[in-house]
Amino acid sequence: MTINEAPISVSLAGLQNGIDDETLTKAFGPNSLGIIIVRDLPSEFQSLRKRVLTSASILANLTQEELKSLECEEAMWLVGWSCGKEKLAKSALPDFHKGSFYMNCAFHKDSTLEGPDSKLVSKYPDYKSYTASNIWPTNDDLKDFERDCKALCSLIINVAGTVAKNCDKFIKSIHEGYEDNYLQKIVRNSMCTKARLLHYFPTTGAENTASLDDWCGEHLDHSCLTGLTSALFMDESQGLTHALDSSPDSHAGLYIRNRNGEIVKVSIPADCLAFQSGSTLQEISNGKFKAVPHFVRGTTKPNIARNTLAIFCQPDLDEMVNDREDFATYSDRILKGNH
């Protein structure tokens, strides 16, 4: 059953000044949706979002030869282009419903970095999914792609830092063993934060849509915080840059399974960002913050693509996330389950 339940919305200025524990509990607590909407973002956000998300359709429609040159098999296809390498939920079948372009966001900490620094790389030689350097397209139609992606990712990570500040205060108040400013340090300093630019391929309109999670199966992110843009829907029959003002299908989009097991459709306004909690934060907070089960439902309308950007703010590989595992071990266990 799908129910109507709106996520908590706060202004960026409100986050910077500090929001009250009641609001945080409503956003991330045991009875929450586990997601918060942030409005009143920097003025450049909307133009950056439009350019980057539009470019996802251009990227996904490059020639197979060009896309192949952007793949990195040794990184388990978690750097550069990936399509058909991830398993569908509840199935061993590869997922060809969407294509992804992955970026390491170490450039947010140091603009000269395209991956973790040499010290972390040498410490974890077998974790190429996090240590391999970024691969950027060279196609003339994407000449500003790297610049725009880096600018948008950095903006989102900066906003994530204000969310993290409030989360730290809240978790500390209910979890004695929680390290001061832990989440802020992760967001600010991690060289393993990952961005995923997603392109959900258009359908013919004749596909079986009996499954609610036909565009992206239900799953948990294994980040601490995931930053999400609102999706941009494209009518590719009108050209690869033909963006629509809104979704043409009220049923398509992001859905969350709330703490009572009920399904909630979440709409992110185009001028806002959303942040949801992942399983690493659940581990670190001893379950005080819960990870968010979510999925994406496709559209029955033909020629419509859906583009969005997710930023997975997560620890460096050597950070401990529980009593037994550092993030390298923890994430490796999860990635091997879905690739």
Tokens of 134: 């970024």
Are the beta carbons of 234 and 304 closer than 8 angstroms?
A: yes
> How many other C-beta atoms can be found within 10 angstroms of the C-beta atom of residue 219?
18
Tell me the C-alpha distance between 182 and 240, whole Å. Answer: 42
Tokens of 161: 């830092």
Q: Which residues pair with 277 in a beta bridge?
A: 225
| Domain made up of 2-338: CATH architecture | Sandwich (2.60)
> What's the pLDDT score for residue 335?
75
Short-list 230, 216, 218, CA closest to 293 = 218
Short-list 305, 285, 308, CA closest to 240 = 305
Short-list 109, 124, 85, CA closest to 191 = 109
Short-list 57, 45, 49, CA closest to 241 = 57
> What's the pLDDT score for residue 90?
56
Are the beta carbons of 254 and 7 closer than 8 angstroms?
A: no
Across the range 296-311, mean pLDDT stands at 90
> What's the pLDDT score for residue 311?
97
Tell me the C-alpha distance between 53 and 195, whole Å. Answer: 13
Range ranked top by mean pLDDT from 3-12, 57-66, 94-103: 57-66
Give whole-number Cα distances, 297 to 3, 97, 113, 254, 255, in Å.
Answer: 15, 11, 36, 7, 7
Indicate the domain borders of the chain: 2-338
Short-list 295, 294, 261, CA closest to 277 = 294
Percent of the chain whose predicted confidence (pLDDT) is above 90: 58
> What's the pLDDT score for residue 4?
47
Are the beta carbons of 317 and 222 closer than 8 angstroms?
A: no
Are the beta carbons of 28 and 167 closer than 8 angstroms?
A: yes
Question: Which one has a higher pLDDT value, 14 or 5?
Answer: 14
Are the beta carbons of 76 and 129 closer than 8 angstroms?
A: yes
Give whole-number Cα distances, 140 to 47, 134, 150, in Å.
Answer: 20, 18, 18
Tell me the C-alpha distance between 301 and 317, whole Å. Answer: 42
* 208 has pLDDT over 60: no
> What's the pLDDT score for residue 89?
57
What pTM did the predictor assign? Answer: 0.92
- Average pLDDT of the chain is 88
> What's the pLDDT score for residue 333?
82
Chain-centre distance for alpha carbon 64: 25
